[in-house]
Amino acid sequence: MLKSNKWILATKFEGEPKHSNFKLEEEDLPALKEGEFICDAVYLSVDPYMRAFDYPVESCIIGEQVARVLESENKDYPVGCLVQMYSGWRSRSFVNAASRKETEEIHLLKVPDLGEREPSLALGILGMPGMTAYFGFLEICQPKAGETVLVNGAAGAVGSAVGQIAKIKGCKVIGFAGSKEKCDWVKSIGFDHVFNYKEQDIDKSLKEAAPDGVDCYFDNVGGNFTSKALQHMKQFGRMSVCGGISVYNASQPVLTPDPFMTILFKQLKVEGFDVMRWETRFPEGKAEMKKWIDEGKIKYRETVEEGFENMPKIFMSLLKGANIGKMIVKA
């Protein structure tokens, strides 16, 4: 009988995640029946949203992975085939690919042939974060050539892609990131203005880089950054609310200056989204992103850390900004 390891939520997150929030457990995998297969994690994704979602104690931590089929009773998923799916923080997954319900729940896909590129891209620029940037920016912000776009978390998997998509669309792009190394990279991939929010005043920076104001604001950070950014929006500005990494760890509700009068007087359009609303359009988004990568118009980076056993530690470092580009765990 094959066994798997999984990381479960031992206790609910409160404030910053701690080692005591996580517990490693072993589970037995059943013998395979028709339509089923078992696969080994190759790359696992860690993403900020894992902190923000509320799910029950004792459940496996959520997340997507790329895995290689180890045993199979499903001819569509032969041994050796690479798949991607939301099976959680598991070293080995049992999949009933004959069950439509299960495949929809875990969003099972075959990893497309990426040629010389690593299949981990299916978790990053050609996966959920890439689609988050593509649809979350284009659909909600509706950027027009010549407009000014503001992105924070600009060195992250999503932010770095948003800024480059905005450049492709003819916009002026302002990014904020949290270290010199990050800012240097963000600048190197074509952002027009890049600021280190830990060292530079947000208001002053925005006044300098966007004296006429910001048309589109793609927010990964929330909190204080957003309160300031709103003051720099133009009339009819659009804000895409993608994340709030600065407030995910708050154990108390965060108090913030009331934004609604600014939304009113500037006639802003603000929308939050979960990228899965566009899931049926992912093939279109992935094809476009792949084309831009092949043309050299979109660059990406990954921060790859090793060891399934280190997942909590790697995840905690992600929340502290240890990544440049997509953070990946190599199992």
| Sites of contact with its own copies (CB under 8 A) | 52, 219, 222-223, 226, 241-244, 247, 253-274, 277
Q: How far is the CB of 174 from its own copies (least distance, A)?
A: 19
Q: How far is the CB of 36 from its own copies (least distance, A)?
A: 33
Q: Is 285 left (phi over 0), alpha (psi -120 to 50) or beta?
A: alpha
Q: Is 180 left (phi over 0), alpha (psi -120 to 50) or beta?
A: alpha
Which residue's CB is nearer to its own copies, number 54 or number 116?
Answer: 54
Which residue's CB is nearer to its own copies, number 127 or number 244?
Answer: 244
73 Cβ contact partners less than 8 Å away, ≥ 6 residues apart: 32, 33, 34, 35, 36, 37
Taking the C-alpha atoms of residue 331 and residue 315, their distance in angstroms, rounded to an integer, is 14
Say how far residue 14 (Cα) sits from the centre of its chain: 21
Q: How far is the CB of 272 from its own copies (least distance, A)?
A: 4
Q: How far is the CB of 192 from its own copies (least distance, A)?
A: 26
DSSP 21: G
Residue 306's φ and ψ, nearest 5 degrees, are -105, 145
Which residue's CB is nearer to its own copies, number 25 or number 236?
Answer: 236
Longest dimension (CA), the chain: 65
**Whether the Cβ atoms of residue 228 and residue 206 lie closer than 8 Å to each other:** yes
Q: How far is the CB of 246 from its own copies (least distance, A)?
A: 10
Which residue's CB is nearer to its own copies, number 10 or number 247?
Answer: 247
